[in-house]
């Protein structure tokens, strides 16, 4: 590959990634309704979003569930990783395989199996059911991420702490946790995005009293190209962008 054709190809792939997002951003300021023709600059779709209470509620609900589910999943997944790394016990391999399988289990199957379970137990669908399902969705990912990090460092650090008289829990908290903090944080962030991105499971396991953003966006997107979706998408993309950039800057700073 010549240097120029290489550069051109890289550039084209980035165009493929970013042009649609750029178009969405531009169209969110389009005054025209429905059509993709330019009808002048306007902020009215952003204003319309602000007035749409249902949407704001859904966004808040999503955020709440994502934060709770990510935290619970980090706790459970982190614990699982510690178990798998530090202890040997009967069924350890089965546990590991079970967690791995969970990471590839299709969302639709997860959503449906939870729905059947909840209906069988006559639980009312809402915040709690969604929290349980999303925690189940995310925890295996955290476990795998943290485990990969734990595999990398020295077992004897903990044993040293234990020899110095620290209890197991204390040793984990003061030695293992700080060392694996990047992986724990990555797991948490991953869980958060998973939860914010999930349409299928949420469709099945939440009720009208607790509507979430992805499901709302899905029905808006299905209705077709409308500027209020553009505005919403632009806001969400800007948030993601700033979060990713922030994370990048922090890691760069810490490296120095």
**Which positions from 36 through 55 interact with other proteins, judged by CB under 8 A?**
36-37, 51-52, 54
Tokens of 201: 């499971």
CB 40, min distance to other proteins, A: 16
The smaller minimum CB distance to other proteins, of residues 42 and 52, is found at 52
By CB under 8 A, name the one of 47, 50, 56, 225 that touches other proteins. 225
By CB under 8 A, name the one of 49, 131, 212, 231 that touches other proteins. 131
By CB under 8 A, name the one of 104, 154, 253, 256 that touches other proteins. 104
Q: Please check whether residue 231 is in contact with residue 28, taking contact to mean a CB–CB distance below 8 angstroms.
A: yes
CB 254, min distance to other proteins, A: 10
Site for other proteins in 149-188 (CB under 8 A): 151-152, 159, 162, 167-169, 172-174, 177-178, 181, 184-185, 188
Site size for other proteins (CB under 8 A): 128
CA 177 to chain centre: 21
Site for other proteins in 197-216 (CB under 8 A): 197, 199-200, 203-204, 207-209, 211, 214
Q: Does 33 bind other proteins (CB under 8 A)?
A: yes
Question: Around 121, how many Cα atoms within 13 Å sit in the side-chain half-sphere?
Answer: 9
Tokens of 206: 């939440």
CA–CA distance, 249 with 44 (Å, rounded to integer): 34
CB 207, min distance to other proteins, A: 5
CB 253, min distance to other proteins, A: 13
The smaller minimum CB distance to other proteins, of residues 19 and 43, is found at 19
By CB under 8 A, name the one of 108, 123, 157, 246 that touches other proteins. 108
DSSP string for 50-111: HH-HHHHHHHHHHHHHHHHHHHHHHHHHHHHHHHHHH---TTHHHHHHHHHHHHHS-HHHHH
Tokens of 105: 């289990």
CB 150, min distance to other proteins, A: 10
Q: Please check whether residue 140 is in contact with residue 102, taking contact to mean a CB–CB distance below 8 angstroms.
A: yes
């Amino acid at each position: 590959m010549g240097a120029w054709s290489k550069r051109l190809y890289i550039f084209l792939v980035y165009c493929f990634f970013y042009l649609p997002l750029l178009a969405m951003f531009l169209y969110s300021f389009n005054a025209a309704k429905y059509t993709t023709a330019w009808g002048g600059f306007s902020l009215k779709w952003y204003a319309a979003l602000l007035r749409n209470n249902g949407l704001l509620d859904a966004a808040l609900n999503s955020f709440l569930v994502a934060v709770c589910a990510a935290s619970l999943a980090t706790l459970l997944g982190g614990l699982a990783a510690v178990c798998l790394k530090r202890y040997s016990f009967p069924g350890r391999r089965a546990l590991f395989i079970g967690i791995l399988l969970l990471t590839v289990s299709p969302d639709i199957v997860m959503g449906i199996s939870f729905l059947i379970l909840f209906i069988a137990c006559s639980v009312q669908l809402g915040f709690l059911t969604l929290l349980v399902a999303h925690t189940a969705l995310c925890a295996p990912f955290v476990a795998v991420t943290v485990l990969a990090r734990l595999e990398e460092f020295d077992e004897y650090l903990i044993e040293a702490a234990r020899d110095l008289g620290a209890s197991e829990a204390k040793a984990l908290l003061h030695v293992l946790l700080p060392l694996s903090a990047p992986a724990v944080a990555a797991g948490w962030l991953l869980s958060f995005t998973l939860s914010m991105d999930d349409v299928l499971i949420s469709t099945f396991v939440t009720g009208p009293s607790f509507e979430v953003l992805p499901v709302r966006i899905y029905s808006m997107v299905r209705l077709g190209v409308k500027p209020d979706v553009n505005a919403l998408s632009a806001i969400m993309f800007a948030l993601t962008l700033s979060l990713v950039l922030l994370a990048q800057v922090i890691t760069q700073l810490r490296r120095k």
